[in-house]
Amino acid sequence: MILHQFIDYETLRLIWWLLIGILLIGFAVTDGFDLGIGTLLPFVAKTDMERRIAINTIGPIWEGNQVWLIVGGGAIFAAWPPLYAVSFSGFYLAMFAILAALIVRPVAFKYRSKRDSPAWRTAWDCALFIGGFVPTLIFGVAVGNVLQGVPFRFNSDLRVFYEGTFFGLLNPFALLCGLLSLAMFIMHGSAWLMVKTSGPVAERARYFGSLAAPLTIALFCVAGLYLWAGVAGYLITSTVDPMGPSNPLLKTVVVDSGAWFANYRSAPWLLIAPAFGVLGAAGALLGLQARREIATILSSALSIFGIISTVGVSMFPFILPSSLDPNSSLTVWDASSSHLTLFIMLVVTAIFIPLIVAYTSWVYRVLWGKVDDASINDESGHAY
* Residue 382's pLDDT band (cuts 50, 70, 90): low
- Report the domain count for the chain: 1
Task: Give the domain extent around 353.
Answer: 3-233+336-378
Residue 82 and residue 216: Cα distance in Å, rounded? 32
More confident residue, 151 or 3: 151
Q: CA 274 to CA 276: how far, in whole Å?
A: 5
Decide if pLDDT at 4 tops 70: no
Task: Output the DSSP codes for 48-83.
Answer: HHHHHHHHHTTTTTHHHHTHHHHHHHHHHHHH-HHH
In-domain check, residue 307: no
- pLDDT-based confidence at 274, cuts 50/70/90? very high
The distance of Cα 321 from the centroid of its chain, to the nearest Å, equals 19
pLDDT tens-digit series, residues 118-132: 899 999 999 999 999
Higher-pLDDT residue of 210 and 368 is: 210
357: CB partners within 8 A, 6+ apart? none
Half-sphere exposure of 13 (CA within 13 A, CB side): 25
- Cα–Cα distance between 123 and 215 in angstroms, integer? 29
Instruction: Render pLDDT for 305-345 as a digit per residue (tens, 0 to 9).
Output: 999 999 999 999 999 999 999 999 999 999 999 999 999 99
Look at residues 4, 30, 3 and name the one whose alpha carbon lies nearest to residue 15: 4
**Over the stretch 191-223, which tens digit does the pLDDT of each residue have?**
999 999 988 999 999 999 999 999 999 999 999
The verdict on residue 93 lying in a domain is yes
34, pLDDT greater than 70: yes
Q: What is the mean pLDDT of the chain?
A: 90
**Average pLDDT of the residues in 256-279:** 94
Helix-helix angle 200-230:272-290, to 10 degrees: 160
Residue 107 lies in a domain: yes
Distance of CA 42 to the CA centre of its chain: 23
